[in-house]
Structure formats: structure tokens, C-alpha cells
Structure 1
Amino acid sequence: MTTIYKSERGADKVRRRYEELLREWPVPAEHLRVPTREGETFVVVSGPQDAQPLLLLHGSGANTAMWRGEIASWAQHFRTYAIDIIGEAGASAPSRPPLDSDRLALWLDDVLEYLGLETVSVVAASLGGWVALDYAVRRPGRITRLALLCPSGIGAQTMGWLPKALFLRLFGRRGVRQTARIVTGLDTPLTEQVLDDIVLTFTQYKPRTERLPIFSDDALRHLTMPMLVIVGARDVMLDSAATADRVRRHVPDATVHVLPGVGHAILGQSDEVSKFLLADPQPHPH
């Protein structure tokens, strides 16, 4: 564990908090440990066994617990598979394959094969959005619907927040908290616990530092599955205006929402996502 954490003790703190959050999972769940070529992958499964499969991929420095506010809604209609991405702050292996290779796609192949899933819908956020897009580009026939929240890899990463973050680090834990507030855009009493968890993770965890590859116009044009993209107009980590613009121009079957006043963390969109996932693929002829 220490490869992606600053210390074994820090890894243990993050792991214990994750276990607490999983105990608060609001619907019945099964925990699976899936063997893959990159090491063990942790998956939380909920929803009716005979329902359509829905894959959930979280963001950087996060884990499956990020979906606990939405899962009750989605697990009514879908068999949900919330996957801890390898190399992130969950319960999967610490392996971090290079992003400019096909290894993450091969890893997801292993997960889907073990789960017995030929095709899936996907909801993904931030880095998870990059992983989902990479898979959709490489395996276009396997993703039936793609819902992306602040996805990486379309608009450029922005670094304007970084000097302020480096300055705030001088102020210890309080500075880390203020950085988390700037980066996520979360600034209400209701999101204080979320910020606490982000601060706990990022005081112990070493995030990926490589820049995320940007998908070409041509790659985006080949995404023919129905797609929903939701971005925050005030995202300081990604150029959300460019994300929205490129998707509108190059993805033939995409719906794009830009949320005013919202930063990188996009909450409260479970109904919008459900509506998209459950939409009839084609209008029936009269």
C-alpha cells in the first residue's frame, strides 16, 4: 500500500475511513475481489440481479464511497458495479499503468470478463471519465451508454489554481482544506464532511502526477453510443468550456450540460443521469 501513500500508517487511516463509509452504503451490497493482470480489484455490487448492468468509475484520489449519495437511485433500476480504480485511494491494487498505454483497457477487460458482462452502461467522474473514454474509444461495442461528470481528457487540465495551492500548503491541514475547497468548488455546510474526507486522503496519499492524455477529435468522432456530459462552469482543474465545445462539435449523439456556479465536484445529478440512462434508445414508430 505504501507505494501510493506517504506511509503505512497513513494508508491505514484512509483504509479505515473507507471501511466506515462502506458500512454506511444505503442499499444492500456485495463486495467482490476480482483477480486481474494488474492485481486485485475491489467491486461493490448492488441492485436487482436481473437488471441492466451499470459500471461506476470514481475520480482521482477517491473510491467507490463517492457514489453513496446516488447509489440508492441507480440501484433501483440497474445492477450497479462500483469499481475501485487501481492505483487510487480505494481497496484495489496500487498498480498505476501508464495512461498512454492500453493497460487500463486490458484491466477493465479482465474485470468485465470476471463479472460476466459483455456490454455495460457507464457513469464516470473526472479520472474515471478518462478511463471510461479510453475504454469506449478502444472497445466501442462494449459501452451502450456513457454518462460523464467533469470528465478528464477532453478539455485541457488547467493549472491556474496551483500557485495558490502551493502557498496554502504552508498553512498545514488548514491550508490543505482550503485547497480542497478551491479545487472541488464545494463550499456549503452540507459538504463539510466531504471536504474532511478529501483532506484526510490527500494528507496521506500521493496522487498521479502525469498529465492526462487528451483524446483527439477523431477519437471523439468515433464515440457513437448515447453520451451525457455534465461539467461545472467554475471547474478550476479542467477547461470545462473546451470540454463542452469539443463534445458538441465532435460527438454525434451527446447531450451536454454546463452547470453555472459549479466547480469540479458535481453532486446532485442522480435524477438527470437516471433519466439519460433509462431513455428509450429510439422513438417507436407510430
Structure 2
Amino acid sequence: MLLHGSGSNSAEWAGRLPALIGTFRVYAVDVIGEPGMSAETRPPLDGDRYAAWLDAVLDHFAVDRAAFLASSFGGWLALDHATRRPARVAALALQCPVGLGPMKKAFVVKSVLLALLGEKGRRKAMADTLGEPASSPIVEHQLLVSANYRYRTGPFPVFGDAALGRLTMPVYAVVGADDAMVDSATTKRRLEAFGAEVDLLPGTGHYLPDAGALEFLTRAVANGDFTG
């Protein structure tokens, strides 16, 4: 099950699908409330509404238990589901997940100030947030999205130790050392305290197109953690 980040949709995974479908049966879903083809409903983050939605998605495909590959806000959704429904999650592969430490406030202030400079400032703000060059097609795409989409405001809830203690499945995460949004050192420290495998990539920001997840998931299959 592939879960994209906020302000994105399942097309985010297009470049990864050829490698994944050789080993796995893959479902790439548009998260509700995001700029995709699913419902525009945006449930609150402080309840189990998103977990109930993911239950419905799994039930629709007659999948009792799945591995999740998730990015950013998708990582939060996967963690939320895994802490509430551990029996339905076989493994977690997370890319720059939010919800494990405080978001960096400086990037918000900087983005607001840059936005006052017009299109050039908005482009630089987006590039700095993603950790990509201003000329990157990823930045171009997200600028188009941001012109037609209302992003979430306010912090993402941080998972407590009791919730993380319910992660009974294999967990892998990869985070960028230069992530402008997320405190990657705290993410690494907290996940490793609960037995997760975490790679901290130097010189890397929030956008991670391909980093370690396939190898981890393939190992999980080989170890019998779930049936691919």
C-alpha cells in the first residue's frame, strides 16, 4: 500500500512502480482530502477517522494485512494506522515521516517571507522546503499544486512513546539530514528506540525519490513477515 505526502497524489509513485510490481501486488491510493481523485473530505488528525478510512480501503481490496510504503504525511498516516491496527500492518517503510518530532518553525517563517517576493520567492521557498533545485520539475509540479490547493495548517500530532510501543512489525525509515521541515535527528532517535532501522542521508532534504525501501520490503518478504 503506497501512501503519498500532503499536497500530492498517487502519481508521486510513478517512477517507483516498475521496481515494486516485480515483487509485490501494489495499491497506490489517493489520500482523502489531498489533490487526487479521492473524496475531498479532510478528517481531523486527532481521532481514528483516517485509520477507519484505511481499513475501508484494505477491505475493499480484500487485503487483511499489508506492508506500507509511505512518504511525509503518508508516513504519519501509516504510523497512525500501525499504532491503532497493528494486526493489519505487516511492515512499514517510511520516507521522511512527520509526527515523530516537532516540525521546524524556521522553514514556515522563511516560506512566508519569501512568498511576499512573488513568483520567484515562492519558487525558492518550495525548492528549499523540498531540498530540490529551483529548476526541478518536482518544484514546478508542487508550485502548480499550491496555486490550486489549500494546504493543511497547524502542526501534525506527535506520536507518544505508548503509541510507538505498539509497532510490533518491522519498521524502516529513511530521512534527510538537511530536511528543512522535519527534525530528522529526533525522528531517527525515537524510531530506533523502538527497534526500527533508520538511515540518515547526509546532504539530502525532504524529497527522497528512491532510498532503501525496496530492499527492506524484499527482506521482509524473504523473512516471512508477510506474503508479497
**Normalized against structure 1, the TM-score is what?**
0.75
Return the structure number with greater relative CO, CA threshold 8 A, min gap 6.
2
Q: Residue 87 of structure 1 aligns to which amino acid in structure 2?
A: G
Correspondence 1:137 to 2:83:
yes
Correspondence 1:196 to 2:140:
yes
Residue 208 of structure 2 aligns with which residue? 266
CA contact (8 A) 1:173 1:199 kept: no
Q: 2:164 aligns with which of 205, 214, 220?
A: 220
CA contact (8 A) 1:149 1:266 kept: yes
Aligned-residue RMSD, C-alpha? 1.4
* Structure 1 spans left out of the alignment, 5+ residues: 1-54
**Normalized against structure 2, the TM-score is what?**
0.94
CA contact (8 A) 2:123 2:134 kept: no
User: How many angstroms does 1:158 deviate by?
Assistant: 1.0
Residue pairs, 1:18-167, within 5 angstroms: 55-167=1-113
Residue 52 of structure 1 aligns with which residue? none
Measure, in 2, the Cα distance between the counterparts of 1:248 and 1:118: 27
SS at match of 1:161: helix
Residues 247-286 of structure 1: CA distance to partner in whole angstroms, max 9, x if unpaired?
111x23x1110000101111222xx21111111326xxxx
Residue 6 of structure 1 aligns with which residue? none
User: How many angstroms does 1:162 deviate by?
Assistant: 1.9
Residues 184-238 of structure 1: CA distance to partner in whole angstroms, max 9, x if unpaired?
001286xx11111001001221111131110011211221101101000011111
Residues 74-93 of structure 1: CA distance to partner in whole angstroms, max 9, x if unpaired?
01111110011000111111
Q: Residue 261 of structure 1 aligns to which amino acid in structure 2?
A: G
Q: 2:183 aligns with which of 235, 239, 264?
A: 239
Residue 116 of structure 2 aligns with which residue? 170
Displacement over 2 Å in runs of 4+? none
Instruction: Specify which structure has the higher proportion of strand.
Output: 1
* Structure 2 spans left out of the alignment, 5+ residues: none
Residue pairs, 1:7-26, within 5 angstroms: none
Paired residues, number? 223
Residues 121-161 of structure 1: CA distance to partner in whole angstroms, max 9, x if unpaired?
10000100000000000000111110000001112111111
Correspondence 1:276 to 2:220:
no
- Larger Rg over CA atoms: 1
Identity %, equivalent residues: 42
